Structure 1
């Protein structure tokens, strides 16, 4: 039986304003962050040297929603133990249960009520844990549906990590997400965020599939006309910033993007990960 890990930090088991926005609510902050799996033997960049920087970055940014990629079980635990207690984490390992990398979602439980949560695998058998069809590794998508405690606005937040080796797998994964989104069937008026490490550029087929005008997703960076900037750094911060983002924040529904940032800063001389975190701010559109 499926059992998604839902944990809070107190108990661990296991600028461009658009004209049609609601001005009374603060911006919704969404963060996608590939934190690099914690058993990697990166000389000078092992998890024990980076973990405080990862937590510090999240704490400082104080986002409403965070999508973590490559997070192993013990990394999730450390983040929850050291992050502000208002956050709840939802996720499952890509090999099933608590095993393997998670595409975890953190959300601010002081602001949002969890309505439902689930996950599926990016394969021909998406409900079978650890399944893989198009690539050599299982890939997972985690999603949550929440309500804003104050406004009752509904959000569907999705987080994933695409294959790093297979064009076919990435293309099939994009198609799978759109298909499963139909079955999730969020109510009309739901704001949907899809974020993650997509391991491909905005000029790729998967991006085109997800942002097809008939499907309704929009790319925050492109909507705002923000400069394209690399989001993978490989722990090398001395290269030119010019490059292509492979970590995206996509959106649809009654929401307007306000800001987009690729956060290249070190924390006390430490790069938190081999990917830069990406932060986007949004305002809810006034609905008729």
Structure 2
């Protein structure tokens, strides 16, 4: 008889703030922020099998992060180097912001990936409805080499201006989950699904309520673990201290869940062990971003 297995896994999501040439008051240039950000990513994934999901990443920032993660100074095992999936949203190549998913090819076999534009023309760079910017979701199918468990991983950054565009984008994302789940290519092998990102939506607003509705297969990881097992802050957007807006919770990791959900497979693929919102500033006073990272530790059940 096959013995069920549980795969420990860490998922980290962080909007890193794009490398602007016109910083806000309190915001330092990218060259001052990249080192504390890399320290955060390295420390929180050093001894973990992990996915890193980032938002607002310009191509030069992508290069800096990939180089930093794979630096010989910080990578003791050359076989555990990092790679990524994703494209710039403006042209499907290198222009505009990426929403990349970083992974370690020695641990995860990449089976398939795509970028979906969150618009009425999802196969090409575009925006629709009331969106102020082009928006995307990065989708990857990864198989864990040791356990052979397969994850559908998704990373997105929804529009900061358009309420309808966030609503429509949330429904496009749910449609993609269903497409992969029901598809002949990967449906029978996917063990579980996660969606990470900056939704630009608080928990009473359109994107969050659509993505976590009773009929959705997804649930907020923060709600799947007792508050006593939360670490750090609650708010995920802080600004740089001079925006005149209150901090808010708009960054999430959602997991496929049967808890209070309609999920025909009748099983709970994830067990959440812990949930954290990390600091984005320390004694040196440097904000590594205007967002805080969200991190979860989970067990993926076979």
Q: Hey, what does 1:210 align to over in structure 2?
A: 211
1:45 matched to 2:43: no
Q: Shift of residue 130 of structure 1?
A: 3.4
Specify whether residues 244 and 22 from structure 1 end up closer, same or farther in structure 2 by C-alpha distance, changes over 3 A only. Answer: farther
TM-score using structure 2 length: 0.80
1:79 matched to 2:94: no
Secondary structure at 1:98 match in 2 = coil
Counterpart contact for 2:280–2:289, Cα < 8 Å? no
Match of 2:249 among 236, 245, 251: 245
Q: Shift of residue 235 of structure 1?
A: 1.8
Secondary structure at 2:128 match in 1 = coil
1:142-200 residue CA offsets vs partner (Å, 9 max, x unmatched): 01110001000000110000010111111111011111222233424521110100001
What CA distance in whole angstroms lies between the structure 2 residues aligned with 1:70 and 1:245? 17
The CA RMSD measured in Å over matched residues stands at 2.3
Counterpart contact for 1:86–1:108, Cα < 8 Å? yes
What CA distance in whole angstroms lies between the structure 2 residues aligned with 1:131 and 1:233? 27
Counterpart contact for 1:132–1:139, Cα < 8 Å? no
Alignment map for 1:1-288 (pairs within 5 Å): 22=5, 25=7, 27-42=8-23, 43=25, 44-62=27-45, 64-84=50-70, 86-96=81-91, 97-185=93-181, 186-188=186-188, 189-226=190-227, 229-236=234-241, 244-252=248-256, 254-266=269-281, 269=284, 270-285=286-301, 287=302
Counterpart contact for 2:198–2:252, Cα < 8 Å? yes
What CA distance in whole angstroms lies between the structure 1 residues aligned with 2:271 and 2:86? 27
Q: Shift of residue 129 of structure 1?
A: 1.8
Counterpart contact for 2:141–2:152, Cα < 8 Å? yes
Secondary structure at 2:66 match in 1 = helix
What CA distance in whole angstroms lies between the structure 1 residues aligned with 2:108 and 2:225? 27
What CA distance in whole angstroms lies between the structure 1 residues aligned with 2:216 and 2:226? 21
TM-score using structure 1 length: 0.84
Q: Shift of residue 243 of structure 1?
A: 5.5
Secondary structure at 1:218 match in 2 = strand
1:105-140 residue CA offsets vs partner (Å, 9 max, x unmatched): 101222111000101101011111234343121101
Counterpart contact for 1:55–1:82, Cα < 8 Å? yes
Q: Shift of residue 268 of structure 1?
A: 6.0
What CA distance in whole angstroms lies between the structure 2 residues aligned with 1:274 and 1:204? 21
Counterpart contact for 2:236–2:248, Cα < 8 Å? yes
